[in-house]
Amino acid sequence: MRAPKGDGYGTIMLAMFERLGVTPPLSVCAMSEATLAGSQANIPAVIREVDERHHPDMIVITRSATAAVLQEPLDGEISMMPDKVNAEIFLAGAHPLRDTEVSAFALTLKEIVAHYAQDVERSPKPSVNIVGPSLLGFHDHANVTSLRKMFAALDIEVNAVVPLGATVDELRTLGRAWANVSTAHELTAPLFAYMQARYGTPSVHALPYGEAGTTAFLRELCALLEIPADRIKLAARDAKLLWYARTVDAHALSGKRVGVFGTPTTAAGIARVLHDELDMKIDFVGTYVLPYGDWLRERVADLTSDVIVTDDYRVIAKRIDESRPDIMFGSQMERHSASAFGVPCAVISPPAHILNFPLGYSPFIGYDGANHIGDVVNQTQVLGLEHHLIETFGPRDQGLAQAMPEGKDAPSVHDVPALATHSASGAVAVAEQILTWDQSAEKLVARIPFFVRKKARANIEKYAREKSIAVIDERTVLAAREHVGG
Amino acid sequence: MFEPVADAIERDDFCSLAPIGWLHHKMQDSFFLVVGTHSCQGFLQTALGVMIFAKPRFATAVLDEDDLSGRDALEGLLPIVEAIVAEHKPGAIFLASTCTPEILKMNITGCAPPLEEKFGVRVYPCRLDGFDPSYTQGEDHVLEAMIARAPETSEKNLVILGCLSALEEAEVRLECETMDLPVPRFLPNESALDLPPIGPNTVLAAVHPYLFGSVAYAARERGCAIHKTIFPYGPDGSRAFYEGLAAAFGKTVSYEAREREAWGACEREVEAIRGRSVAFISDAMLELPIARTLRAAGATVPLVGTPNIYKKFHALELARLEGVDVIERPDRFAMYARLSEHKPDLVVANLNIANALEGMGFSVKWSTELSFQPIHGFNGAPSLFGLFAASLRRHDALAKIRGKTQTEAAPIDLDFFRFDGAPLSLRAPHALREAPQPSSPLPDPTGATSAALAPSPSHEVRH
C-alpha cells in the first residue's frame, strides 16, 4: 500500500484480530515529509522486499486516499521496474476516495478473478464456490466451516473458498463450480455478475441465516445443482433454533422490539431470523452500505417499512435513543451507542472489534450459525453486562469528578466501615481504628478509575494501618501506591 | 529540524491521531475534530472507539472530492462545528489537520480564528498526521498549539509539560511543596482552557521524551528555560528530575535517600527483571529512558530500536546507554535478524508485529501500553517495572506448561486460513500441522556474525 504510515493501521488489526503469528502480509510504502517535497515513491524497493520476504504469487498494489490525492504515477514506476520479481504485480483499480471498504473489496475481488479466470470444464460432481469470506471478515472462518459441514452432508464439492485462503490456481478454475454461494451479497455481487456472464454460473438468492432460512437456502441450492433435497435433513441434524424457540425459556422473546443495523446481508439475514423464527418485533432495519439500501428494503419488505440507510452512526444512535428497542443488533458502533442509553446490544455485523474474532467456533450462517444466533440473543438479553455496569457506576465520560462529586462518594463511603469490620477480626488495635480521609486524599482517589478504586482504597487503608496513620492525606495515597500497589 | 530520508519501507504504524485517546480523556471539556479521509475515520473508530463507556468526543470531517477541487475548507467545517458545539458544548475544539490536508495545502490553521469567533468556543489548530516519526508526537503538536495560546508572564514559575495522570501530577506537586519550589502548573489539565502562564522566567520541564517540538517552540517563542535532565522514569530518572528542578530554582536538594527508598519499593518487581535481557523494537519514542531505567534496575539491554532521536534533547539519555546497540528508524527485518542474534528474554514491540515475534519464538511485551500507563515518578516506578516483571513472569509460567503439553497449537499463519481437501475434516487440525519454521529473515542462529556487524539498511541510523 502506498500511504502515509498511519494508514497502515490495517496491519495492526490484521495482526491483532486474526492473531497472526507471522508478519502480516501487508506492507506500507510510507509517504514522508520528503514525499511532500517531491521525492519519488520507492515502490520497486518495496516490491522486491515483499517478494523476498513473503514469497507471494501475487502482489496487489493499492493506494490510500492521501496517495491518491498526490496523484503519483504508480503504474509508471511499476512498469519501469528493472529487476524481475517472482510475484505477479497487480494494480488495484479501486479509488480510495470514491470507494468505500465494501465497494473496494467487491471491485478488487472481481478484478483479480477476471485477471486470472480461465476457460475450464465444469467439475464432474456438483460443486460450489464459497465467495465473500476474508481475513478480518465477520466470523468468516467459522462461517466457511459451517457451510462446508453442510455441503459435506449434502455431498456437494467445494470448488474454492474465495478470497479467504484462495490460491491463484483456484482463482483460475472458479469456472468449474456449478453454482456460487455468497457469505455477503454486497461483497460478491459484481463478481457473481461477471461469472454469470462469463461461465453462466448461477448463484443462490436466499440468505443462509436462521434454521428455516438455511433450509430455504439449501433447497434453492439443491435445485440449482439438480440434486435431491432429502439429504438436507442430514445437514440439519444439529439445528436447534426452532426447537429453542418453542421452549419456555424463549417465550419471553415474543413481541420484544429489536432494531437491526449492519451490512445489507447481515441486517436482512438477522432481521428475518429474529422475526420469523423467534417472533420478535422488528422496530427498524438499516444499513450503512448506501448502494444496497433498496436491496435491503426489498428483502425486509414484509418485516418492516422502516428501513434506515445511512453511513452516519449518529443517526442510528439517535434512533436507538428514540425507539429504545429491547435489544439492538448492530455493528461495534451501535454497541457503543446503545450502551450509552442502557440498551443491550449484540454485534452481528462489521465493523467489529476483537470480541467478534472468537477463539471458539461461532458462525452466524448455516444451521450452526442459527444455533449461535440463538445463544447471542439469549446472552444479550440475560447478561447485558455493560448495562449492569453503567447502572451501577454511571457513565464514565461525564468525568470521574462529576460521577463522584466531592463529599458524595456514595459507594466508597459505604466501603469504609465494611472494610473496617472485616479487618477488625484480627483484633489489632489499629485495625479497630476508623480511618479518616482528608479532602485532598478523597479528591485524588476519586480520580482513580472506578473499576479499580475500591481495591485501591482498601490497599491505601491497609497501608495506613500498617504505618499507624490515622488521617489519610495525599501523601498517604501516593506512598501506598508506591509500596502496596494499586 | 526535519532531515529528509529515503522513504523507509515496512513502516506501518499508528499515526499521530492515536494520542487523541489519552488527551481527550485527560481534557474532559475537549473535542477533537479530525479533518481527514475515511482511513482516519476508520482508525479513530477502530482504535479509540473501543472505549466502551465513552460517548466519543472526537469526530472526523471526511474530505470528499469537492474538497480536492478546492472548496473552501471553512465552508465545509461550519456546519460540522455548529453541530459539535450544539451537541457536546466543548470548552475547546482541537481542529486536527491530517496527511491529506497537508498534501492539499488546505489552510486548516486559518479556519480556527473564524470558527472561534462564530461559535464562541476556543479552537486550537494542530497537525496530527502520519508523517511524524512516532505516533506519540501527536501530543507534542497538541501541546504546541496550546502553548501558543498560553498567557505570557514575567514571573518565575514552573510548568510541567506532558499529559500525566492525577496521581503522577500529585507526586510532582507534593515534591515541589517539600522542596519549597513554586506550585507547579501542568499542561495539559482537566480543562483544555486551563493554560499555565509561560514567559522568559518560566522553567519548562517536559516529562515525555517525545515533546521535542513543543519544548523547542516554547523556548523560541517565549524564551523560557528548558529543564534538562533525564526523564522522570524509574527511581534514577525521578531523582535526577527533581534534583534538577531544585537546581533550576537555585536550590541544592539531594534525593539520594529518596531514590534508595524508591528502589526498595520496587524490589518485588525488579527482582523479576534483574539479570534478564530486554530489547526494544518499538515505536513510542519512550525507548531510550525506559531502557536506561531497566539497565539501572539490573536488566541487560542489548538492542534499542527507536523511531527518532533528537540529539540534544535526548543527549543525557543516550549518554547512559553506552554499550547498547541503539538504532534510529530501524528496519523491521534487520531488527528481526539482530533479535535472533541477541535472543533477549523479552522484546518490547508494537502491536503490528508483537504476535509475529511470538510466532518466531520471542517473548513479547506490547509497547503501546507504555504510552498510557501512569509510570512516571517514584510513585509510578513500581508500575513501570511491574509491566516488565508481569510480562516476564507470565512468559516463564506459560513456558512451564507449554513444556508439559504436546497439544500446543502452532502460531496462526496464513495456511491456517486454507480450507484444503477432505470434506469432513474441513481442514487439517491446527495443532497437527507442521509448526512453521521461524520466518525466513532469521539467519542461522549459530551464525558467527555479531549483531554489531549485521548489515544496516541505508535508512537506519546507528547511535
Contacts 24+ apart (CB under 8 A), A347-350: A348/A260, A348/A262, A348/A266, A348/A270, A348/A373, A348/A376, A349/A138, A349/A261, A349/A262, A349/A263, A349/A266, A349/A267, A349/A270, A350/A137, A350/A138, A350/A262, A350/A263, A350/A266
Distance CA(A474)–CA(A470), nearest Å, equals 13
Could you say which of A235, A252, A285 is where a domain stops? A235
Contact B325, B302 (CB under 8 A): yes
Cβ of residue B458 closer than 8 Å to a chain A Cβ: no
Active site residue A249: yes
Calculate mean pLDDT across residues B16-31.
Answer: 92
In a mutagenesis test of the B interface, which of A1, A2, A7 is the best target, namely the one with the most B β-carbons within 10 Å?
Answer: A7
- Is A211 in the same domain as A250? no
Output the pLDDT for position B68: 72
Q: How far apart are CA A309 and CA A302, in angstroms?
A: 17
**Rounded to 5°, angle at Cα B42 from A356 and B99:** 155
CA distance B236 to chain A (A): 15
Could you list the residue range(s) of the whole structural domain that residue A416 is in? Answer: 403-483
Tell me the per-residue pLDDT of B309-330, one tens digit each, with 9 for 90 and over. 999 999 999 999 999 999 998 8
Chain centroid to CA A367:
20
pLDDT of residue A193: 98
Task: Name the residue among A30, A351, A482 with its Cβ closest to that of B8.
Answer: A30
Tell me the residue type at B235: P
Question: Is the CB of residue B390 less than 8 Å away from at least one CB of chain A?
Answer: no
Q: Tell me whether B429 touches chain A (CB under 8 Å).
A: no
Q: How far apart are the C-alpha atoms of A369 and A187, rounded to whole Å?
A: 20
- Start-end of H helices in B204-296: 212-222, 234-248, 256-273, 287-296
The residue type found at B403 is G
Q: Say which of B4, B10, B42 has its CB closest to residue A39.
A: B4
DSSP string covering A264-313: HHHHHHHHHIIIIIT--EEEEEEES-GGGHHHHHHHTTTT-S-EEE-S-H
Does the pLDDT of residue B448 top 50, yes or no? Answer: no
In a domain, A344, yes or no: yes
Q: Does B4 touch chain A (CB under 8 A)?
A: yes
Q: Which three cell numbers stand for residue B81?
A: 462545528
Residue A117, pLDDT above cutoff 70: yes
Q: Please indicate whether residue B83 or residue B48 has the higher confidence score (pLDDT).
A: B83
In which band, very low, low, confident or very high, does the pLDDT at B54 lie, cut at 50, 70 and 90? low
CB B131 within 8 A of CB A32: yes
Together in a domain, A199 and A281: no
Average pLDDT of A438-457? 86
A29, A165, A482 ranked by CB distance to B417: nearest: A165
Residue A396 lies in a domain: no
Cis peptide before B188 (omega within 30 of 0): yes
Question: How far is B110 from B103, CA to CA, in rounded Å?
Answer: 16
Same domain, A248 and A368: yes
**Which grid cell sits at A83?**
529487476
Q: Which three cell numbers stand for residue A36?
A: 511532500
d(CA B385, CA B140): 25
Asked if the Cβ–Cβ distance from A35 to B7 is below 8 Å, we say: yes
On whether both A384 and A264 belong to a single domain, the answer is yes
- The pLDDT of residue A430 is 46
Q: Is the CB of residue B64 less than 8 Å away from at least one CB of chain A? A: yes
Of A188, A204, A235, the domain-final residue? A235
Short-list B47, B417, B17, CA closest to A353: B47
Cα Rg of chain A (Å, integer): 28
Residue A398 is assigned to a structural domain of this protein: no
Chain A residues lying within 8 Å of B135, measured CB to CB: 6
- Say yes or no: A61 and A173 in one domain: no
* Distance between CA atoms of residues A173 and A160, nearest Å: 9
B401 at A interface, C-beta within 8 A? no
What pLDDT score does B208 carry?
A: 97
**Structural domains in chain B?**
20-131 (3.40.50.1980), 151-256 (3.40.50.1980), 266-407+456-462 (3.40.50.1980)
Q: In this structure, what C-alpha cell is assigned to residue B174? A: 507534593
What distance in Å separates the CA atoms of residue A363 and residue A380, rounded to the nearest whole number? 17
Q: Do the domain assignments include residue A132?
A: yes
Please spell the DSSP secondary structure of B2-29, one letter per residue: ----PPPBS-----TTTTHHHHHHHSTT
Give, in order, the Cα–Cα distances in Å from A84 to each of A61, A68, A88, B8, B9: 16, 26, 10, 21, 19
Per-residue pLDDT reduced to its tens digit, A214-230: 999 999 999 999 999 99
The residue-averaged pLDDT of A240-261 equals 92
**Does residue A256 belong to any structural domain of this protein?**
yes
Neighbours of A426 (CB within 10 A): 10
Looking at residue B181, its amino acid is L
According to the model, what pLDDT value does residue B146 have?
98
CB contact under 8 A, A6 and B13: yes
Residue A51, C-alpha cell as written in the block: 517478494
- What's the mean pLDDT in A414-437? 46
pLDDT tens column, B197-214: 999 999 999 999 999 999
Spatial distance between the Cα atoms of B412 and B414, rounded to a whole number of angstroms: 7
Does B410 lie at the interface with A, CB-CB under 8 angstroms?
Answer: yes
Q: Helices A385-393 and A332-340: crossing angle, nearest 10°? A: 30
Please tell me which of the candidates A11, A53, A448 has its beta carbon nearest to residue B440.
Answer: A53
- With an 8 Å Cβ cutoff, is B411 touching chain A? yes
Domain co-membership, A153 together with A33: no
Burial of B27 (0-12, 13-18, 19+ CB in 10 A): buried
**Chain B residues whose beta carbon lies within 8 Å of the beta carbon of residue A164:** 417, 419
What burial letters (b/e) apply to A185-210, b meaning 16+ CB within 10 Å? bbbbbbbbebbeeebebbbbebbbbb
* Helix (H) or strand (E) run with residue B339 in it: helix B332-342
Distances B240 to A281, A385, A482, B64, B231 between C-alpha atoms, Å:
66, 46, 18, 51, 8
Contact at 8 Å (CB) between A282 and A261?
A: no
Q: For residues A171 and A160, what is the distance between their CA atoms, to the nearest angstrom?
A: 8
Residue B129: its chain A contacts at CB < 8 A? 4, 6
pLDDT-derived band at B381 (thresholds 50, 70, 90) equals very high
Q: Does B381 touch chain A (CB under 8 A)?
A: yes
pLDDT at B454: 52
For residue A34, give the C-alpha cell. Answer: 520528503
Angle made by CA atoms B375, A19, B308, in degrees to the nearest 5: 45
Summarize pLDDT for A148-170 with one digit per residue, the tens.
Answer: 999 999 999 999 999 999 999 99
Task: Look up residue A74 and give its amino acid.
Answer: L
Q: Which residues of A touch B14 (CB under 8 A)?
A: 6, 9, 12
Q: What is the mean pLDDT of chain B?
A: 87
User: Please, which residues bridge with residue B277 across strands?
Assistant: B300
Q: What is residue B240's predicted lDDT score, i.e. its pLDDT?
A: 98
Tell me the CA end-to-end span of chain B in Å, nearest whole number.
18
Q: What percent of chain B has pLDDT over 70?
A: 87
pTM listed for this prediction: 0.84
Q: Does B53 contact chain A (CB < 8 Å)?
A: yes
Closest by CA position to A387, among listed A304, A468, A484, A320: A320
Q: Report the residue of A1, A5, A474 to disrupt the B interface, i.e. the one with the largest count of B CBs within 10 Å.
A: A5
Residue A346 has which C-alpha cell?
449484540
pLDDT single digits (tens) A6-21 = 888 888 888 889 999 9
Instruction: Choose the final residue of a domain: A179, A214, A235.
Output: A235
Hey, are the CB atoms on A29 and B9 less than 8 Å from each other?
Answer: yes
Question: Which residues of B fall within a CB distance of 8 Å from A386?
Answer: 52-53
Q: Is the pLDDT of residue B29 over 90?
A: yes
Mean pLDDT for B175-204 is 97
Let me know whether A67 and A119 are in one domain: no
**B408, three cell numbers:** 500446543
Which of B2, B3, B11, B12 to mutate: most A Cβ within 10 Å?
Answer: B12
> Which H or E element spans position A197?
helix A185-199
Residues A368, A456: one domain? no
CATH number at residue A13: 3.40.50.1980
Name every residue whose Cβ is closer than 8 Å to that of residue B256 and which is 6 or more positions away in sequence: B239
Q: Does pLDDT of B357 surpass 50?
A: yes
Which residues are CB-contacts of B216 (< 8 A; sequence separation ≥ 6)? B1
pLDDT confidence of residue A120: 95
Same domain for A130 and A220: yes
Residue A444 makes CB contacts below 8 A (sequence gap 6+) with A474, A477, B166, B167, B170
Strand partners, A90: A60
Same domain, A418 and A382: no
Mind listing the pLDDT tens digit for each residue in B60-98? 888 877 777 777 889 889 999 999 999 899 999 999 999
Cell of B426: 474441513
In single-letter form, the type of residue at position B27 comes to: M
- Which of B5, B7, B260 to mutate to test binding with chain A, by most A CBs within 10 Å of its CB? B7
Tell me the nearest-neighbour CA distance from B58 into chain A, angstroms.
12
List, for residues B266-294, the tens digit of each pLDDT value: 999 999 999 999 999 988 899 999 999 99
For residues A272 and A346, state if they share a domain: yes
A305 and A418 assigned to the same domain: no
Query: Is there a contact between A351 and B439 if contact means CB atoms under 8 Å apart?
Result: no
Say how many domains are in chain A: 4
Name, in order, each residue with C-beta under 8 angstroms of A54's C-beta and a sequence gap of 6 or more. Answer: A23, A25
Q: For chain A, give the mean pLDDT.
A: 86
Q: Give contacts of B131 with chain A, Cβ < 8 Å.
A: 4, 31-33, 36
The grid coordinates listed for A467 are 504505618
How many A-B residue pairs are in contact by the CB < 8 A criterion? 267
Asked if residue A460 is part of any domain, the answer here is yes
What CATH number is given to the structural domain containing A440? 1.10.8.550
DSSP A329-360: EE-HHHHHHHHHTT--EEE-SSS--GGGS-SS
Count CB-CB contacts under 10 A for residue B196: 22
For range A75-87, the mean pLDDT: 77
Q: Contact at 8 Å (CB) between A324 and A341?
A: yes
**Which is the catalytic residue, given A57, A169, A238, A249?**
A249
The three three-digit cell numbers of residue B220, written as one number = 523560541
Nearest CA in chain A to B424: A152
